[in-house]
Chain A
Amino acid sequence: MQFFLDNIDLFRDAFLNTLGLTFFAGVLALVLGTVLAGMRVSPIAPLRGLATTYVEIFRNTPLTVVFFFVIFGLPQIDTVLPFFAGAVVAVGTYTAAFVAEAIRSGINSVAPGQAEAARALGLTFSQTLTTVVLPQAFRTVVPPLGSVLIAMAKNTSIAAGFSISEVSSLLARLTNADPNDLLFILLGVVLAYMVITVPAAIALNRIEHRVAILR
């Protein structure tokens, strides 16, 4: 216990970093993922191709490799991001691929009659998508989207290797300082993640029950 009190500041700062990274990367992933999903069902072939390529590449590359390219690869095309922004971009762009897939399968689950009816009313492609299909799709995608975002919160742990002092980085830092307190360090880190993921999972479960629609 004494150990925790001694390092409470470290844990708090690291926790805030994890939280901040999760929030900003989550926003980026949701926005970019929705745009990508829209591109994948659009009538314009190059946009479809671009979105498909993006999703296939980012879905099949380990996040650590994505981090490498964002932090050390972007400077090769003369773009240098601050480290925190780089971490947000790495986690966000990676997760966007999964968000796009979740939304796309949501779009696919909306009954075709809905889109047909919208078109019959004379709505354009973007109107059909934004006012009829996506609102319904979002309900279906709440559970998968939720798991994607929870997984993303855990994935922020990779940023530890790329200069972000988030929760997992305490493992390396405190382990060398106090090898005997290893177990407590680990417990602290595990708890910090559970504070984020467990309430999120419970909330997700509630929402899932509320918005679930039987088809």
Chain B
Amino acid sequence: MSSLVLFDVPGPKAKRRQLIGTVVGGVLVLALLAVILWRLNGNGQLDPARWAILFDPAAGVPQAFGSALLLTLRIAAVAMVTSTVLGLLLAVGRLSDHRWLRIPVTTVIEFFRAIPLLVVIFALYFVLPGFGVSLSAFAALVGGLTLYNMAVLAEIFRAGILSVDKGQREAAYALGMRKTQVMTLVLLPQAIRRMLPVLIAQLVVLLKDTSLGFIIGVFELLRQARSLVEFFNSRFGDIYTFQLYVGAAVIYIVINIALSQVAKLVEKRTRSSAKAAGAAPPSLATSTIGTGVQRGAEPSF
């Protein structure tokens, strides 16, 4: 429902009221911004010399952020692939007709959904060595991200599979397909397509979650920012702290917004192609996707 439905096309009086609202609202927003900037300036945080450090190769900051960003993306990429594959397998396992498979798979999914990712990463890095398995920090972070996100993705895929119209499954069985064929040839392709936007939204969450590597010393973006702060603090005092964290935050936001835009694009394309193919009644498709986007994506970090 577009927001246009919520209010009338304004008449002259309403138009004036809205104009006043717009002006007042705009002034309020600008005033808020002005107060923040004014106070930041009062504390010397807007001094251009302080911000120059972010772009100064001589200080080593752009290079350090660059390599940290690469590491962050590498961790995220590996974890995205492993958790998607495992998530798919778990989703299928949870829908299995066999109890011996369904029950353990369900337990695994529910367990990892119930505990914080931070705790999983900590356990992999600090507790596992006690059992003779010692992981590098990189492996522990990727492992933690995988275990947590595979559980979340499994639920997303399961919701996707269940949302495929019953007729599809019945038709496939009627054609004489076996269970595996129905799942892999009929249900999964439609489920994945339908869940793509949610899937990508969850990948944004995963990318942000790489920042948890800081507790085990992985030099991803956030840990790098902290390390730079510590280094420059020891020489110049804390004049760059605010700037370096803003720098890191902006990098995260830009990367994640780019990923979210991909999600929107995909959502648009799936919608229009679903309509064109007539695979599902449009109303059903939109309502599933519309509510689904938030359903699976758990804001971990």
Contacts and interface: CB of A to CB of B under 8 A. Distances in A.
A–B direct contact (CB < 8 Å): yes
B291 A144 contact: yes
A113 to B, nearest CB: 9
B242 A76 contact: yes
B5 A65 contact: no
Majority DSSP secondary structure for residues of B touching A: helix
A76 B39 contact: yes
Contacts of B22: 44-46
A185 B97 CA distance: 37
Contacts of A148: 294, 298-299
A69 B40 CA distance: 13
Contact of B6 (A60, A65, A115): A115
B214 A64 contact: yes
Nearest to A64: B211
Contacts of B36: 77
A56 B257 contact: yes
A97 B204 CA distance: 14
Interface residues of B, number: 66
A108 B209 CA distance: 29
A119 B8 contact: yes
Contacts of B291: 105-106, 109, 140-141, 143-144
Contacts of A161: 215
A198 B112 CA distance: 11
B280 interface: no
B211 A154 contact: no
A4 interface: no
A157 B121 CA distance: 12
Given A60-B252, A171-B122, A190-B119, A77 B40 contact: yes
B231 interface: no
B126 interface: yes
Interface in B208-259: 208-209, 211-212, 214-215, 222, 241-242, 245, 248-249, 252-253, 256-257
B180 interface: no
Interface in A182-215: 182-183, 186, 189-190, 193-194, 197-198, 201, 215
B290 interface: yes
Interface string A105-121: 11111111001100100
Nearest to A189: B119
A63 B211 CA distance: 9
A64 B2 CA distance: 34
Nearest to B114: A197
Contacts of A101: 293-294
Contacts of A186: 119, 122-123, 127
Given A41-B6, A65-B248, A60 B260 contact: yes
B42 to A, nearest CB: 8
B222 A62 contact: yes
Contact of B301 (A46, A109, A158, A215): A158
B295 interface: yes
Which of A47, A62, A102, A140 has the largest number of chain B CB atoms within 10 A?
A: A62
A160 B212 CA distance: 12
A171 B125 CA distance: 12
A116 B18 CA distance: 20
B45 interface: yes
13 contacts: A50-B25, A56-B253, A65-B211, A65-B245, A69-B245, A72-B241, A112-B1, A143-B291, A144-B295, A152-B299, A155-B299, A198-B114, A201-B113
Interface of B: 1-3, 5-8, 10, 18, 21-22, 25-26, 28-29, 35-36, 39-40, 42-43, 45, 110, 113-119, 122-123, 126-127, 130, 204, 208-209, 211-212, 214-215, 222, 241-242, 245, 248-249, 252-253, 256-257, 260, 283, 287, 290-291, 293-301
Given A60-B253, A64-B211, A189-B119, 11 more contacts: A43-B10, A44-B18, A56-B260, A59-B204, A62-B301, A64-B301, A76-B45, A119-B8, A157-B116, A168-B116, A201-B114
Interface of A: 40-47, 49-50, 56-57, 59-65, 68-69, 72-73, 76-78, 94-95, 97-98, 101-102, 105-112, 115-116, 119, 125, 128-129, 133, 140-141, 143-144, 147-148, 150-152, 154-155, 157-158, 160-161, 168, 171, 175, 182-183, 186, 189-190, 193-194, 197-198, 201, 215
